[in-house]
Structure 1
Amino acid sequence: MTKQKTLKAPFSLSGKGLHTGLDIQITLLPAPAGTGRVIRRVDLEGTPEIPALSEFVKGTERGTVLVKGDASVSTVEHAMAALYAKGVDNCYIEVNAPEFPILDGSARLYVEGIDAAGLEEQDLPVEHYIVKRRQEVVSADGRSRIVLLPDSKFGVDVHISFDSPVLNNQFASLEDLADFDKEIASCRTFVFVREVEMLLANNLIKGGDLDNALVIYDEPMAQENLDKICDLMKVTRRT
């Protein structure tokens, strides 16, 4: 029987918000057995809590958005992936902004923080969700889908396709969560350079730069348009 785990000690990280551009601090702390992963907006009156559960997911466009009542928080996916992969069942996550910091655009620093803090076994058993039959969930626009299949252990196959000559049909597999640190944790956020101006116009990626995202240049662009995008992202174009 697998027992629940929490962090042995708290740890903090800080950095820019990808979409807000704010300077953000996030602290992950131990929590009692049965708590789950609970986010606290410490910048809001009353420190409202948002459990990291699917029922509170209200958006997945360019980041996962969790909402409970009047409180919301976004860009949580890298932290949640690290917590799950490292076996942290219970923790409080305190953040002083409406999103998590993007850090280097990956889950790597969360994994390193969890490793440094260590894990502590707790009294309650882990409640596993058992997939007994094929299940499928399709997004509203039909462009994304998740298929769950029964198996004796956890594994993921991911397939992705973009209208791009450099990033069209690709796939990756993770057959053992023990490989997350080496195979997945350092995978970074990316954007196509042709999308940058549109995203900024929609009040997104205000904190985006080449330190926290990969920018893919996959089709010819007019010099003036490319210079404009580089200026918007506050980067120097390299020729």
Structure 2
Amino acid sequence: MGLLLHDYQTTVKSRATLTGIGVHSGKTVTVHFLPADADTGIVFHLSNGGETRELRALVAEVGATDLCTMLGDPAGAHIGTVEHLMATVFGLGIDNLIIEIDGSEVPILDGSAMAFVEAFDQAGIE
């Protein structure tokens, strides 16, 4: 269970999508943000080669932090460069969110959290 900042849980009202380049891989990555039910938490759905893996944004899932913050599981699924996205999610008070991503790292976009803030603002938070 995460830190509760308010008496109710929040998610996005509608789907939002961002596409950019992974700063470490140099590959194009698309991220979709989808509404999630209460008590879901923040969940990444990683699509790689037709297989989808699930990673939860939990401290227990944090792996390497030398060049970026990486979430991973013992089976080898991992997602890197999550720090700006996770800071935005926390800062906006989003408790429940499905994040579909088709690469191994969150795109760097402009290097700040602004594109994430704008995407969540456009999608709405409820």
TM-score (norm 2): 0.91
Alpha carbon RMSD of aligned pairs, Å?
A: 1.1
Q: 1:79 to 1:96 in 2, by over 3 A?
A: same
| Alignment partners' CA distance in 1, 2:8 and 2:49 | 34
Q: 1:98 to 1:108 in 2, by over 3 A?
A: same
| Runs of 4+ deviating beyond 3 Å | none
User: How many percent identity over aligned positions?
Assistant: 41
| Alignment partners' CA distance in 1, 2:50 and 2:72 | 16
- By relative contact order (CA 8 Å, sep 6+), the higher-ranking structure is 2
Q: CA deviation at 1:43?
A: 2.3
Gaps of 5+ in 2: 1-5
Q: Which of the residues 47, 52, 74 maps onto 1:47? A: 52
Per the alignment, residue 26 of structure 1 pairs with 31
Per the alignment, residue 113 of structure 1 pairs with 119
| Alignment partners' CA distance in 2, 1:73 and 1:119 | 24
Per the alignment, residue 78 of structure 1 pairs with 84
Per the alignment, residue 38 of structure 1 pairs with 43
Q: CA deviation at 1:46?
A: 3.5
Q: How does 1:159-178 map to 2 (within 5 A)?
A: none
Q: CA deviation at 1:12?
A: 0.4
Q: CA deviation at 1:62?
A: 1.4
Q: What letter corresponds to residue 13 of structure 1 in structure 2? A: L
> SS at the partner of 1:82?
helix
Q: How does 1:89-128 map to 2 (within 5 A)?
A: 89-120=95-126
> Could you list the per-position Cα deviations for residues 49-68 of structure 1 after superposition, in whole angstroms to 9, with x for gaps in the alignment?
00011100011111101101
Per the alignment, residue 17 of structure 1 pairs with 22
Q: How does 1:128-207 map to 2 (within 5 A)?
A: none
Larger-gyration structure (1/2):
1
Per the alignment, residue 58 of structure 1 pairs with 63
| Alignment partners' CA distance in 1, 2:108 and 2:78 | 17
Q: What letter corresponds to residue 11 of structure 2 in structure 1? A: T
Q: What letter corresponds to residue 90 of structure 2 in structure 1? A: Y
Per the alignment, residue 195 of structure 1 pairs with none
| Alignment partners' CA distance in 1, 2:51 and 2:41 | 20
Q: CA deviation at 1:45?
A: 4.2
Per the alignment, residue 175 of structure 1 pairs with none
